[in-house]
A and B are shown apart, each in its own frame.
Chain A
Amino acid sequence: MGNRGNMKLAARSSLTESPANSDLRNKAIRFLVPFARFRKAFAEAPTPRKINLVIGCLVSGIAHLLLGEIEIGLGFLIGYGLVGSLLVYVIVSLGTGFLVLPAADALIVILILVCGFFALWYGGFVKCVEDNLKLNAKKKLHGSYIAHFLVALTKRIEAFFEQYNRQWHLAGKKNKTLLALSWFVCGIPLFFYERALQALAFLLVQLLYIFYMIARGASDLFGLFTLRQEGVMSSNTMVYGILAACFTLFFLAIYLLNLRATLIAVKEDNEEIPGPGIRTQARAMVNEKFYLTALFIPVLGALVFTVIPLLFMILVAFTNYSGNGSWAGNIVPAPNLDKYLSWIGFGTFARLFGDANNLKDMLTVFSWTMIWALLATFTCYFGGLFFAMLLNKKCIKGKVVYRSLLVISMALPQFVSLLVMRTMFANNGAVNKLLLQWGFIDWLQNVGWISSLDDFVAFWSTPTIAKTLIILINMWVGIPYYMLLMSGLLINVPADFYDAAKIEGASRHQIFRKITFPYIIYMTTPCLITSFVGNINNFNVIWFLTGTNDGKADDTDILITWLYKITIGYQLHDYNFGAAIGIVMFVITAAVSLIVYQRSSSYKNEEEFR
Chain B
Amino acid sequence: MEIKARLPERRDPSSRRRSQKAGRVFEAVWSNALAMLLTALWMVPVVWIVCKAFDGNNAAGYVSQTFFPTSWTFDNFIDLFANTPFLTWLFNTIVIALINCVATTLVTILTAFIFSRFRFRGRKALMNISLILGMFPGFMAMIAVYLILNMVGLINSIWSLLLFYIAGAGLGFFTSKGYFDTIGKEIDEAAMLDGASQVRIFFQIFLPLAKPIIIYTALLAFMAPWTDYILAGLVLSGDSSKTVAVGLYEWMSSTKINIYFFDFAAGCVVVAIPTVALYIGLQKFFVSGISAGAIKG
Proximity string of chain A (468-481) to chain B, C-beta cutoff 8 Å, 1 when within and 0 when not: 00000000100011
A431, chain B: closest CB distance, angstroms? 10
B232, chain A: closest CB distance, angstroms? 10
Take A291-B120, A413-B275 as given contacts and tell me if A407 and B280 are in contact as well, using a CB distance cutoff of 8 Å: yes
Residues of B within 8 A of A286 (CB): 197-199
In the bound complex, do residue A312 and residue B141 qualify as a contact, i.e. CB atoms below 8 Å apart?
A: yes
* B206 at interface, CB cutoff 8 A: no
* A55 at interface, CB cutoff 8 A: no
B223, chain A: closest CB distance, angstroms? 7
Q: Determine which of A416, A489, A503, A539 lies in contact with B139 in the assembled complex, contact meaning CB atoms within 8 Å.
A: A539
Q: Which residue of B lies closest to A533 (CB)?
A: B135
* B14 at interface, CB cutoff 8 A: no
In the bound complex, do residue A406 and residue B39 qualify as a contact, i.e. CB atoms below 8 Å apart?
A: yes
In the bound complex, do residue A563 and residue B137 qualify as a contact, i.e. CB atoms below 8 Å apart?
A: yes
Q: Determine which of B42, B142, B182 lies in contact with A568 in the assembled complex, contact meaning CB atoms within 8 Å.
A: B142
- A residues 489-527 touching B (CB-CB < 8 Å): 489, 492, 503, 505, 523-527
* B6 at interface, CB cutoff 8 A: yes
Take A390-B35, A396-B31, A416-B248 as given contacts and tell me if A240 and B118 are in contact as well, using a CB distance cutoff of 8 Å: no
Instruction: Count chain A CB atoms within 10 A of each CB in B6, B170, B184 and give the residue with the most.
Output: B170
* B65 at interface, CB cutoff 8 A: yes
In the bound complex, do residue A484 and residue B286 qualify as a contact, i.e. CB atoms below 8 Å apart?
A: yes
- Identify the stretch in A44-52, A66-74, A422-430 within 8 Å (CB) of chain B at 4 or more residues: A422-430
B248, chain A: closest CB distance, angstroms? 7
Q: Which residue of B lies closest to A399 (CB)?
A: B35
A396 to B227 CA separation, bound complex (whole angstroms): 34
Take A309-B145, A409-B46 as given contacts and tell me if A395 and B151 are in contact as well, using a CB distance cutoff of 8 Å: no
In the bound complex, do residue B63 and residue A430 qualify as a contact, i.e. CB atoms below 8 Å apart?
A: yes
Q: Determine which of B140, B151, B182, B272 lies in contact with A413 in the assembled complex, contact meaning CB atoms within 8 Å.
A: B272
B221, chain A: closest CB distance, angstroms? 14
- B residues 38-71 touching A (CB-CB < 8 Å): 38-39, 42-43, 45-46, 48-49, 62-63, 65, 67
* A206 at interface, CB cutoff 8 A: no
Q: Which residue of A lies closest to B295 (CB)?
A: A523
Take A307-B133, A387-B38 as given contacts and tell me if A290 and B198 are in contact as well, using a CB distance cutoff of 8 Å: yes
Take A390-B31, A419-B248, A530-B297 as given contacts and tell me if A294 and B114 are in contact as well, using a CB distance cutoff of 8 Å: yes
- Identify the stretch in A181-189, A265-273, A581-589 within 8 Å (CB) of chain B at 4 or more residues: A581-589
Instruction: Count chain B CB atoms within 10 A of each CB in A235, A485, A523 and give the residue with the most.
Output: A485
- B residues 131-147 touching A (CB-CB < 8 Å): 131-133, 135-145, 147
- A residues 560-610 touching B (CB-CB < 8 Å): 560, 563-564, 567-568, 575, 578-579, 582, 585-586, 589-590, 593-594, 597, 602-603, 606, 609-610
In the bound complex, do residue B280 and residue A294 qualify as a contact, i.e. CB atoms below 8 Å apart?
A: no
In the bound complex, do residue A590 and residue B45 qualify as a contact, i.e. CB atoms below 8 Å apart?
A: no
Q: Which residue of A lies closest to B224 (CB)?
A: A413
In the bound complex, do residue B138 and residue A415 qualify as a contact, i.e. CB atoms below 8 Å apart?
A: no
A509, chain B: closest CB distance, angstroms? 14
* A180 at interface, CB cutoff 8 A: no
Q: Determine which of B46, B107, B140, B278 lies in contact with A313 in the assembled complex, contact meaning CB atoms within 8 Å.
A: B140
Q: Which residue of A lies closest to B182 (CB)?
A: A610
- A residues 305-347 touching B (CB-CB < 8 Å): 305-310, 312-313, 316
B84, chain A: closest CB distance, angstroms? 16
A540 to B62 CA separation, bound complex (whole angstroms): 23
In the bound complex, do residue A310 and residue B169 qualify as a contact, i.e. CB atoms below 8 Å apart?
A: no
Residues of B within 8 A of A277 (CB): none
In the bound complex, do residue A306 and residue B136 qualify as a contact, i.e. CB atoms below 8 Å apart?
A: yes
- Identify the stretch in A29-37, A167-175, A296-304, A439-447 within 8 Å (CB) of chain B at 4 or more residues: A296-304
* B283 at interface, CB cutoff 8 A: yes
* A391 at interface, CB cutoff 8 A: yes
* A351 at interface, CB cutoff 8 A: no
A593 to B128 CA separation, bound complex (whole angstroms): 11
Q: Which residue of B lies closest to A411 (CB)?
A: B279
A538, chain B: closest CB distance, angstroms? 11
Residues of B within 8 A of A302 (CB): 130, 133, 167-168, 170-171
Q: Determine which of A288, A437, A489, A579 lies in contact with B294 in the assembled complex, contact meaning CB atoms within 8 Å.
A: A489
In the bound complex, do residue B135 and residue A395 qualify as a contact, i.e. CB atoms below 8 Å apart?
A: no
Instruction: Count chain B CB atoms within 10 A of each CB in A397, A416, A568, A606 and give the residue with the most.
Output: A416
In the bound complex, do residue B135 and residue A589 qualify as a contact, i.e. CB atoms below 8 Å apart?
A: yes
In the bound complex, do residue A590 and residue B181 qualify as a contact, i.e. CB atoms below 8 Å apart?
A: no
Take A419-B249, A429-B63 as given contacts and tell me if A298 and B197 are in contact as well, using a CB distance cutoff of 8 Å: no
Q: Which residue of B lies closest to A400 (CB)?
A: B283
- A residues 228-250 touching B (CB-CB < 8 Å): 235-236, 239-240, 243
Q: How many residues of B contact A (CB 8 A)?
A: 99
Residues of A within 8 A of B138 (CB): 537
A396 to B28 CA separation, bound complex (whole angstroms): 7
Give the A-B contact count at a CB cut-off of 8 A.
291
Take A291-B120, A433-B65, A505-B6 as given contacts and tell me if A406 and B42 are in contact as well, using a CB distance cutoff of 8 Å: yes
In the bound complex, do residue A484 and residue B287 qualify as a contact, i.e. CB atoms below 8 Å apart?
A: yes
In the bound complex, do residue B114 and residue A408 qualify as a contact, i.e. CB atoms below 8 Å apart?
A: no
Q: Which residue of B lies closest to A593 (CB)?
A: B135
Q: Determine which of A243, A489, A539 lies in contact with B230 in the assembled complex, contact meaning CB atoms within 8 Å.
A: A539
In the bound complex, do residue A568 and residue B49 qualify as a contact, i.e. CB atoms below 8 Å apart?
A: no
Take A306-B136, A397-B32, A527-B294 as given contacts and tell me if A488 and B288 are in contact as well, using a CB distance cutoff of 8 Å: yes
* B252 at interface, CB cutoff 8 A: yes
Q: Which residue of B lies closest to A387 (CB)?
A: B38
Residues of B within 8 A of A602 (CB): 295-297
Instruction: Count chain B CB atoms within 10 A of each CB in A391, A415, A527, A559 and give the residue with the most.
Output: A415
* A362 at interface, CB cutoff 8 A: no
A312 to B146 CA separation, bound complex (whole angstroms): 12
Residues of B within 8 A of A301 (CB): 107, 166-170
In the bound complex, do residue A308 and residue B144 qualify as a contact, i.e. CB atoms below 8 Å apart?
A: yes
Take A415-B227, A597-B131 as given contacts and tell me if A294 and B111 are in contact as well, using a CB distance cutoff of 8 Å: yes
* B91 at interface, CB cutoff 8 A: no
In the bound complex, do residue A305 and residue B275 qualify as a contact, i.e. CB atoms below 8 Å apart?
A: no
Other A-B pairs beyond A297-B107, A594-B132, 13, CB < 8 Å: A243-B148, A290-B202, A294-B113, A294-B114, A298-B173, A306-B141, A306-B167, A309-B140, A408-B276, A563-B139, A564-B139, A603-B297, A610-B182
Can you list 14 residue pairs at the A/B interface with Cβ under 8 Å? A298-B173, A309-B142, A310-B133, A390-B35, A396-B32, A408-B276, A488-B290, A489-B291, A540-B227, A589-B135, A593-B131, A594-B128, A594-B131, A602-B297
- Chain B interface (Cβ < 8 Å from any Cβ of A): 3, 6, 24, 27-28, 31-32, 34-35, 38-39, 42-43, 45-46, 48-49, 62-63, 65, 67, 107, 110-111, 113-114, 118, 120, 126, 128, 130-133, 135-145, 147-148, 150-151, 163-164, 166-171, 173, 181-182, 184-185, 197-199, 202, 223, 226-227, 229-230, 234, 244-245, 248-249, 252, 257, 261, 264, 268, 271-272, 275-276, 278-280, 283, 286-288, 290-291, 293-297
Q: Which A-B residue pairs are the 7 nearest by beta carbons?
A: A298-B170, A526-B297, A301-B167, A488-B291, A309-B141, A411-B279, A309-B144
